[in-house]
Amino acid sequence: MSSRKGHISVNTTDIFPIIKKWLYSEHDIFVRELVSNACDAITKRTSVSRTTGQEVEPGKVDVAIDKEAKTITFKDNGIGMSEDEVEKYIAQLAFSGAEEFVQKMKDAEGEKGDIIGKFGLGFYSAFMVADKVIIESLSMKEGAKPTKWVCEGETDYEFSDSDKSTIGTEITLHINEENKEFLETWKLRETLKNYCDFLPYPIELKDLNEIARITQENAKAEKEEDKKPLPTDIINDTEPLWKKDPSTLKDEDYKNFYKKLYPMDPEPLFWLHLNVDHPFTLQGILFFPKLNPNKPTNESNIKLYCKQVFVSDNVKNVIPEFLSLLKGSIDSTDIPLNVSRSALQGDPNIKKISNYIVKKVAESLKKLFKNDRARYENAWEDIGLFVKYGVISDQKFDDLMRDKVLFKNSENKFMTLTEYTESIPEKHKEKMKGKIVYFEENSSDETLRTQLLEEGIQALTTDAYIDPHFTQHVEVKKKDDQEIKFQLVDNAIEDILETTNASEDDIKIKDLFQTILVGEKDEKNPAQMEVEIKNFKNSATAAYFKVDESMKRFQQMTKSMGQSHFDMPMKKTLVLNPSHKLVQNAFKLSENNEKKDLAGKLCHHIQDLAAISGEGLNDQQRKDFVTRSQDLMSELSNLAL
């Protein structure tokens, strides 16, 4: 065959510069495109061979580096192409929409995800890194002749004779100076591992210069045993775990696969094997990892594949945000992809797949809760955050998982909200109807929780990050028409425990503390502290602080969302137990004119103890507490002497 020149049928000549510019941020994409195209060609040959009864050797892709020649060659034993097919599929069809593509790229910088994937430009990603591309191919069709196609990054190309004798295709890239890093074996291997780690046919990386060096050394070797074997580097695992039948797999198989994906992680807590073929196709494995609080959350934990080709680790449109703590892989042919395979386009299947994954995760957790409660509880410290987040953010997940959310009670045991309600003693059921008492660690008064427990009433421990959002959600989004109201232990105790009526002395005690600790009422300062008296029976608490619960929750929620500018002083109320000895002693001292100063110090000390038992003291308050305590102890010591 004599040489024949051709021209890509596109009216503009700036298509190649635009391809290079457009794909620059993902310049390693050429590896994925060319290798996945090679695998597609092998699959096509296998399919055709089945219908014709031809025998075909096992499929394989070779990727060869020649650093001296500055080339990378991708070779497959797939279906191959004739000259007409190369012209049709490479030179013309790929550019059928090129003019529209060029115009959209000029008009829509920053909106690439909306137009990618409609122009068949995957092969031309090679020109991001190559000054010249050569295709040599021999079709499997009987009587086919090999052909050679050469293009140097312009719209002109040339066909010529080829001496290729094996069926399949070789694509040779002459790498440009800007991308010579891909001529390094480690770099190309890393890129192949990233994108092609689970492709269905073996991918072998060859360093031709290293092979030539060893071959020369072997030729000089006098003894056969002195000869070195030629290096083989098979990149991929052709049958990933998600392609296998779950019934044939053991726990160790999943753990080993997880270790392969995340070598630095501890063993996963448990996992979910996805396998569905209607109304969409989806396979994959999602792992529930053991969380490391000292390690920032990675939003790229789940990898998306299409026919075992790595597509993206940005799966926000497929996996709801609350499941981003999970790790693993999902593989689907029903998610539309762009040419660079790195962004998802809108499609009804995406929502269906997302809903399916949410449902399967919830069902998996429910099954574990029912069949192995101990294991579920052991994992709760790691999964609790995303389960609560899921309940808040996804209606279907809420329906399935709200009654499986756990809290620790006053005895440090896990219980659900339903179990909490069932645990309330009969004598308090009417008073506690619809109420759930909660305790904030490092914020609520521990002695109050102890008092409630003596009455048989638990207080559920909550955190300041997710639980204000969760409790608000449960209160607003009723389930089964059940009214639920969460009440902070500091506010709940006076509604639950019996109190005696205030005596005349009790009123005087309130006035004493109000005068010493607050002074005159200041209408301009709404956050000013107030004093109340509550005479609980059998109470071991001298005083405690309570705050406006709705305001506290609002502050916690805004703070957790990074909106600290909403932080404002909160009105606090010091609740005194007038029958407690410390309070009684302060009152008695105040009636003695000579000991009024000591009474004042004792009042401040009671206030400090209440603060320490609750939210604690800031730096200045801590210094004041130490100073006042030393003065008080000194004066009391003098009295004793």
- CATH code of the domain covering residue 484: 3.40.50.11260
Query: What is the model's pLDDT at position 134?
Result: 96
Tell me, yes or no, whether 83 and 105 share the same domain: yes
Contact 32, 196 (CB under 8 A): yes
Question: Do the domain assignments include residue 400?
Answer: no
> What is the average per-residue pLDDT within 600-612?
86
Q: Which of 328, 350, 371 is the last residue of a domain?
A: 371
Tell me, yes or no, whether 572 and 616 share the same domain: yes
Specify burial of residue 116 (Cβ count, 10 A radius: 0-12, 13-18, 19+): buried
Nearest to 270 by CA among 370, 198, 353, 378: 378
Query: What is the model's pLDDT at position 619?
Result: 81
Q: Is the pLDDT of residue 114 over 60?
A: no
Question: Do the domain assignments include residue 395?
Answer: no
Predicted TM-score (pTM) above 0.85: no
Band (420; pLDDT cuts 50, 70, 90) = very high
Contact 549, 488 (CB under 8 A): yes
CA–CA dist 86, 4 (Å, integer): 13
Query: What is the model's pLDDT at position 196?
Result: 92
Structure-model confidence comparison of residues 374 and 311, the more confident one: 374
Token pair in block for residue 202 = 């073996």
Token pair in block for residue 198 = 């689970």
- Listing DSSP states for 46-82 in one string gives HHHHHHHT---PPP-EEEEEETTTTEEEEEE-SS---
Band (108; pLDDT cuts 50, 70, 90) = very low
Token pair in block for residue 425 = 């003693």
Band (298; pLDDT cuts 50, 70, 90) = low
Question: Do the domain assignments include residue 232?
Answer: no
Question: Do the domain assignments include residue 160?
Answer: yes
* Crossing angle of helices 596-613 and 581-590, rounded to 10°: 150
Band (174; pLDDT cuts 50, 70, 90) = very high
Query: What is the model's pLDDT at position 25?
Result: 56
CA distances from 434 to 418, 430, 437, 460, 605 (A): 11, 9, 10, 14, 37
Q: Which of 200, 226, 252 is the last residue of a domain?
A: 226
Question: Do the domain assignments include residue 316?
Answer: yes
CA–CA dist 193, 208 (Å, integer): 19
CATH number at residue 320: 3.30.230.80
Query: What is the model's pLDDT at position 373?
Result: 95
Band (113; pLDDT cuts 50, 70, 90) = very low
Tell me, yes or no, whether 572 and 435 share the same domain: no
Structure-model confidence comparison of residues 35 and 446, the more confident one: 35
Tell me, yes or no, whether 350 and 476 share the same domain: no
- Listing DSSP states for 267-332 in one string gives PPSEEEEEEE-SSS-EEEEEEEPPP-TTSPPPTT-EEEEETTEEEES--TTTS-GGGTT-EEEEE-
The mean of the pLDDT values for the chain is: 83
Question: Do the domain assignments include residue 388?
Answer: no
Tell me, yes or no, whether 202 and 250 share the same domain: no
Tell me, yes or no, whether 489 and 534 share the same domain: no
Query: What is the model's pLDDT at position 556?
Result: 66
Tell me, yes or no, whether 176 and 220 share the same domain: yes
* Pick from 57-66, 171-180, 210-219, 346-355: least confident: 346-355
Tell me, yes or no, whether 492 and 517 share the same domain: no
CA–CA dist 285, 181 (Å, integer): 34
CATH number at residue 632: 1.20.120.790
CA–CA dist 325, 421 (Å, integer): 31
Question: Do the domain assignments include residue 235?
Answer: no
Q: b/e for 247-268, b at 16 or more Cβ within 10 A?
A: eeeeeeebeebbeebeeeeeeb
Tell me, yes or no, whether 512 and 485 share the same domain: no
Helix, strand, coil fractions of the chain, as percent rounded to 5? 45, 20, 35
Query: What is the model's pLDDT at position 61?
Result: 97
CATH number at residue 115: 3.30.565.10
The domain of 270 spans 241-371
Query: What is the model's pLDDT at position 315?
Result: 78
Tell me, yes or no, whether 149 and 181 share the same domain: yes
In the chain, how many domains are there? 4
Nearest to 458 by CA among 480, 444, 439: 439
Token pair in block for residue 258 = 């997880």
Query: What is the model's pLDDT at position 562?
Result: 60
Nearest to 574 by CA among 498, 630, 490, 505: 490
Contact 539, 579 (CB under 8 A): yes
Q: Is the pLDDT of residue 44 over 50?
A: yes
Tell me, yes or no, whether 461 and 575 share the same domain: no
Tell me, yes or no, whether 492 and 520 share the same domain: no
Pairing status of strand 435-440 against strand 414-415:
unpaired
Question: Do the domain assignments include residue 236?
Answer: no
pLDDT in tens, 339-388: 444 455 556 777 888 889 999 999 999 999 999 999 999 999 889 988 99
Q: Which of 464, 496, 528 is the last residue of a domain?
A: 496
